Structure 1
């Protein structure tokens, strides 16, 4: 009976499609604990991660992924199968207890997860994969296709993954290299040899990961500024960098339309909102902006203010909306 059971277990492990199980996630108590440490959950932060260029069609990929250390740079050519060895909370750095890993010294590592996208997202539209930050180098694979590479631990990057998507579950793998103590990269105070003012590295996917869907020609960014006279200056940047009709609407906090303008993308636009409420530290009034270009629509915001300089009591001072408001003291 015992032999039969052992044989069954062995055959089950060898059968095609039999999946290994990752070590379940658990928060590792950090060296500096707080009363709130154990209250940290694994649910993704629900807010849209890029409020200055917001779309309604998006999906967070934050939450529980799997992780395993790699031997070196050559491992990127042979991705392991999912799930990886151990569950990890994304976003986090592997040196933190929050990650569930809390290890120091790993320079090469894999992260992996699966996701699905609604069919309407790929019906004549594109899908963008966004990383707010990965420290330090990231090679990204979707269903085995290398879809992009980024170098820099503090920079946001985006990848068009439309052509690599399939129906059903999609596999996302990220190979990370973090040479923390390499003097050729900006390391700040991070080091593996902590002392004095220096602290642990922050390796891995330490900021939000998310998907969004948009048409073939979409708005890539907005340049927005507004001054105390009510002037609104906007440049709507398009993916194709070709002039397309755009419609801009400005609303106050109650949803009332206070200004609108129609013009073209990829060139400066100026229009005026009459008698706006000005932004200041005492009254930080913001206005919502909606921009439409073809089938794409994004939301943003701005505040009406003018920063300048002037002579006050014989001294050149910084001014906000024509007034000297700076206050400070030295100790």
Structure 2
């Protein structure tokens, strides 16, 4: 969806609250501290500044990676047009903890009407990655994100709930790299219709404050130029594996799949196929998944120089009628309904 800036939008930009006006760039940003949210727990103040250290994408895992979560700097902007004038080589006005939405206490901002926002950090790339491409990944940014690396416009993404990735290798300088993100989140503002659920700029009753900005993990990882960029995998109650592998470049590369018992070297199946085509094979005597016995299997996928791991369980979910009512059925180890 492409948005058109109208007179109404200009009026909205001029009328935004004082805390959303462009904040000045400063030499020393205001230090991060947890803000007290409307609802908190004892754990709110124990998160620290290294949140979510686990690898964030269990569906497609690479062994080497580096989290960019932690303390960044932040400044609000006055309009959507601010994206044309990024704050290169400057310091933003205050520290922010990524990845927590700007309205949260954990972000350190706990703002309102955080419609236009700048984020900034710096990162280095391990020297052991020099023969690989470097992928910059975002778990989610609400709602639009424009990403700059060392002064280059690296990518644009629209969608507050979906992950995205960009190859930034050609923008790196080999030392300290400047990463800037412009986030635009209109929520339910005038002239914008986007998925918001119960989020609103004016919360009341059962409607909630927005969740704006970077709210899922940011990380970098090395990968070959032609790498696995996505996959769909499912195991059913008959032991059948249904798998489709998506690659960044080649549409005809071969892939080798290995399935082992969870956390062990016990091999249960091997199979080969091709990128972009459905791959189907059967694991004999598979232990099925159920809520009482949530058995999973480790899956390794090799495509050329790229190696990733994922997982699957074996169960079939269907719908049928029971006692005259449409119900969800689970075919699993523990029961047939």
The answer to whether the 8 A contact 1:92-1:207 is kept is yes
1:39 deviation in Å?
1.7
Distance 1:317 1:191 in 2: 33
Q: Number of aligned residue pairs: give it.
A: 306
Structure 1, unaligned stretches of length 5 or more?
1-18, 326-331
2:268 maps to 1:261: no
Which of 151, 154, 160 is the matching residue for 1:147? Answer: 154
Q: In the alignment, what sits opposite 1:195?
A: 204
Q: In the alignment, what sits opposite 1:51?
A: 58
Counterparts of residues 117-132 of structure 1 (less than 5 Å): 117-123=125-131, 125-132=132-139
The answer to whether the 8 A contact 1:83-1:113 is kept is no
TM-score using structure 1 length: 0.86
Distance 2:138 2:51 in 1: 14
Distance 1:109 1:176 in 2: 5
Q: Which has the larger radius of gyration?
A: 1
Q: Describe the SS at the equivalent of 1:36.
A: helix
1:52 deviation in Å?
0.7
2:173 maps to 1:166: yes
For the aligned residue pairs, the C-alpha RMSD in angstroms reads 2.0
Q: In the alignment, what sits opposite 1:4?
A: none
The answer to whether the 8 A contact 2:226-2:250 is kept is no
Q: In the alignment, what sits opposite 1:291?
A: 301
Which of 50, 67, 71 is the matching residue for 2:74? Answer: 67
Q: Describe the SS at the equivalent of 2:214.
A: coil
Q: Describe the SS at the equivalent of 1:120.
A: helix
The answer to whether the 8 A contact 1:228-1:306 is kept is yes
Which of 16, 20, 29 is the matching residue for 2:27? Answer: 20
Which of 236, 244, 257 is the matching residue for 2:245? Answer: 236
The answer to whether the 8 A contact 1:44-1:60 is kept is no
Distance 2:177 2:83 in 1: 19
Per-residue Cα deviation, 1:280-322 (whole angstroms, up to 9, x for no partner): 1111100010000111001011111123456767887644327
2:84 maps to 1:77: yes
Q: In the alignment, what sits opposite 2:164?
A: 157
TM-score using structure 2 length: 0.85
Distance 2:256 2:83 in 1: 45
Change (3 A) 1:312 1:174: closer
